[in-house]
Amino acid sequence: MRILAVTNLWPAPGSFRGVFVAEQVEGLRKLGHDIDVEVVAQSRGAKDYLLAAPRVRRRARAARYDLVHVHYGLTSLSARLVTGVPRVLSLYGSDVNEPWQARITRLTAGRPAVRVYPSKRLVEAAGDPSGVVVPNGIDFDLFTPYPPARRAAARERLGYGPDDLVVLFGAAPDNAVKRYDVFTAALAGLRERGLPVRELILPGPGQVRADVVPKFAAADLLLVTSRRGTESGPLIVKEAAAMDLPVVSVDVGDVREVLAGVTASEVVDFPDSDADLVAALVAASARVLESGGRGDGRSKIARYDQDAVVRQLESVYAKVLAG
């Protein structure tokens, strides 16, 4: 198949934004499909959602693609002039949950051949009975558990001692969606309980994809504190589970589905106030940290292996082209 991917989610130097789209594209290429990528907005700014439309149309016409895959609802603005070729639209979270984004998506998406969502929960939130679920996958060969000696060496290289309880934050602290303020408040609460916790920030300057793996290995817990209604399913939860890293997360996206049956992990409902949320996260994190040991996530989440996920998407494409 010859496919044009139009996306506002694509990794840039020093950022893993949209890495799941890039890895999906690479997986399709490995299956023999010819995939071109048109990145909109991002470095060009928000105005490019509108300005990109003629550019995308010209590219779609010139190359005779079998289909166009539009990633993220706002990107529909950029693909709105494409005609004569089937379109697949993937929706990821805020484009469903944020009213203004959902409105723009509805007005500009037209009639895609199929709408793809990363979780059942998002399908339900969108009220889309014809929506198809294809989860965001992860590279099981890259995210694999470390044996104890290698894990100890990773901790030492990152500056952590054997008695430190290392809590991983999966985003840049200035990313407001991820709520670093709640994360730091939870760590303060754990310290008040006498737990020697230290933070570890996942992103870093000049970091390549493989550099994050030792950080997952070094951590004792991944703590996810994202804002309600902003996530389709944090990829880091799947990556942590694949490495048997315990997880405590707020109930966003598909987290509850991913962690179902996984030991040494908990999902926390959103209460009415930030103070109650921090208290709930502290209690859950303390239980997990005090239990010691690793989780068993890898054996429970095989369905999120990128190879399996890409074949699901390939099947969706085939059905679209079959009419």
pLDDT tens profile 140-183: 999 999 999 999 999 999 999 999 999 999 999 999 999 999 99
- Counting every residue written for the chain, the total comes to 323
222 and 297 together in one domain = yes
Instruction: Please say whether the beta carbons of 8 and 43 come within 8 A.
Output: no
152 and 128 together in one domain = no
pLDDT band at 14 (very low <50, low <70, confident <90, very high): low
Give Cα 254 distance to the centre of its chain.
10
Residues 6+ apart with CB under 8 A from 276: none
222 and 96 together in one domain = no
Instruction: Please say whether the beta carbons of 220 and 167 come within 8 A.
Output: yes
pLDDT band at 232 (very low <50, low <70, confident <90, very high): confident
pTM (two decimals): 0.86
156 and 296 together in one domain = yes
| pLDDT surpasses 70 at 123 | yes
Positive or negative, the CA dihedral 65, 67, 71, 73 is: positive
> Is 57 a member of any domain?
yes
25 and 108 together in one domain = yes
Instruction: Please say whether the beta carbons of 270 and 228 come within 8 A.
Output: yes
127 and 26 together in one domain = yes
| pLDDT surpasses 80 at 34 | yes
* Separation CA 280–CA 190 (nearest Å): 11
* pLDDT tens sequence across 71-103: 999 999 999 999 999 999 999 988 998 899 999
Calculate the average pLDDT of the chain: 93
> CB 253: neighbour CB atoms within 10 A?
28
pLDDT band at 55 (very low <50, low <70, confident <90, very high): very high
Q: Could you list the residue range(s) of the whole structural domain that residue 249 is in?
A: 148-302
| Domain CATH for 10 | 3.40.50.2000
pLDDT band at 219 (very low <50, low <70, confident <90, very high): very high
> Is 142 a member of any domain?
no
Q: Rounded to 5 degrees, what angle do the CA atoms 230, 116, 1 make?
A: 135
| pLDDT surpasses 70 at 117 | yes
> Is 143 a member of any domain?
no
223 and 293 together in one domain = yes
Residue 273 carries which side chain, given as an amino acid letter?
S
**SS3 sequence of 160-213:** CCCCCEEEEECCCCCCHHHCHHHHHHHHHHHHHCCCCEEEEECCCCCCCHHHHH
What's the domain count of the chain? 2
